[in-house]
Chain A
Amino acid sequence: MQTVKLKIQRSEPSSGKKVSYDEFEVPVEEGMVVLDAVHYVENNLDPSLAVRWNCKAARCGSCAAELNGMPKLMCKTRVDTLGDHITIEPMKAFPVVKDLVTDVSHNYEVAKKIPPFTPKPEMKSPFLINQIDITRSKEFRTCIECFLCQDVCHVIREHHSDYFGPKHVVKIASLDLHPADCIDRSELLYHEGGLGFCDITKCCQAVCPEDIRITDNAIIPEKERIVDHVYDPIGRLIRVVKGRKW
């Protein structure tokens, strides 16, 4: 029977267990995904292995991990796409709870800083929405909050800056581009959000399992909004003449 060798990172900071790697050999079945292989280990070889998952259908975003160094969903990645040696590590940008489980709660703290949807005061009902407006903000609503993009972003992963991160820019763009919303959150991104740290290198876009064009459709448009207000002399002039703060 064909098998695959898994090399899984183990650790548990709360009980002082340092990082080590365990190897397991797992029989391969037709169409098997990495999460299946990890479940095989958990059920048959080492029940102490910690892994977080929920839907096994690329919907909940719980099973994010690094497979051979690339952030991916374990439930959406077929074993046969990775060769016969697979290294499975937790997301490096977040603190490990145990083995493959990371603590992503920082993201929820950042999310609280984003002003929620605020309808324009002059809104009439019913509000007829044009398809183009739906298409634009719907792309961002497919985000499953897997945080793979946050994990791969070098600004967060290596430089530990206060940059909100691509996932949150996606959220902000979904609100800013909403036809009935009246807040411009690019100001928040410029000051507190640290969008200037992003150098549009598109790793976030490359790993997004929902194929959201994060950099092209969310980050660059928000950067351009900041240019309107901060860098473009004509935009600044308009701001001064109209007496606007942002």
Chain B
Amino acid sequence: MMSSKKEGRFSVPELLEFNWRMWSFVLLLLLAGAVLFLNPVNPYHGYVDPFYSPTVFVIPIVALFRVTCYAYRKDYYRHVFKHPLACRADIRGEKDNRAYSGERTLFALNNFHRYFLYAGILILPFFYWDFYKSLIWQTGYFDLRLGSLLLLFNAILLTLWTVSCHAFRHLTGGRTDCYSCKAAPQFRKKFYLGQSFLNKFHENLAFISLVVVIGVDIYIRALMAGMPLDFTFIKVLL
């Protein structure tokens, strides 16, 4: 068994360190969870809030997909746990008397990321379905509104984030060692190259898609509260 070579020195266990960042983060997550579960949004004028699509019970799955994503892992290990906060010597916030086990104990659970990826892929089509439904919410009409476009934008960003996932990259192409050995590697090769290109932007996509999904949720809540934020681009009788 491998170990840290610091025997004989006392360190406060990792999760018991005095860490206001971690506890505020936990509090924030609990608050956000409570808000989402206690104030659910019902479909409003044909709009389904992405947090509740297809049901409120996807929230924990989607949350775990985010939490185990390599992009967010990097960010919370850095900014919540300060292992390390930054790379430069004077501001890295890392000390050799701090306990550290990396992804070998509790955070080894992050290795199940691919299962949340599978679940995430299953949920994706619902966002496009919601966009489609929002277009035809009034029987007999085709109604293209700002909200519908936001739903579509959100669906596309979630798709890009999911497709650029590192686990997805591994499962669909990364695990292949020898493209030269395949009889017709053309399609898989192109797919892997395209996916690797997207993967470079995975961290950006992770954050943009998070901000947009929260934005759409707030937007729909604002509409429900009666704010005049929606307008129609095209409305035609079918």
Q: Do A and B bind each other?
A: yes
0 or 1 for each of B178-206: is its CB under 8 Å from A? (1 = yes): 11110001000100110000011000000
Given known A158-B95, A160-B96, contact A196–B103 (CB-CB < 8 A): yes
Shortest CB distance B8–A (Å): 13
0 or 1 for each of B21-59: is its CB under 8 Å from A? (1 = yes): 000000000000000000000000000000000000000
Q: CA of A71 to CA of B192 in the docked complex: distance in angstroms? A: 33
Q: Which residue of B lies closest to A162 (CB)?
A: B2
Q: What total count of A-B pairs have CB within 8 Å?
A: 139
Q: Which residue of B lies closest to A176 (CB)?
A: B177
Q: CA of A41 to CA of B88 in the docked complex: distance in angstroms? A: 25
A224 touches B175 (CB 8 A): yes
Shortest CB distance A242–B (Å): 16
Q: Cβ of A232 < 8 Å from any Cβ of B?
A: yes
Given known A70-B88, A158-B96, contact A200–B200 (CB-CB < 8 A): no
How many residues of A sit at the interface, in one of the four size bands? 35 or more
Q: CA of A163 to CA of B87 in the docked complex: distance in angstroms? A: 18
Interface-facing stretch out of A11-19, A99-107, A128-136? A128-136
Q: Cβ of A2 < 8 Å from any Cβ of B?
A: no
B88 touches A69 (CB 8 A): yes
Q: Cβ of B102 < 8 Å from any Cβ of A?
A: yes
Interface centre among B94, B98, B200 (most CB of A within 10 A): B94
Q: CA of A163 to CA of B100 in the docked complex: distance in angstroms? A: 13
Shortest CB distance A123–B (Å): 10
Choose one: A92, A177, A200, A225; the contact of B73 (CB below 8 Å).
Answer: A200
Residues of A within 8 A of B (CB): 66, 68-71, 89, 92, 127-130, 132-133, 152, 154-155, 157-163, 176-181, 191-192, 194, 196-203, 206-207, 213, 215-216, 220-221, 223-228, 230-232
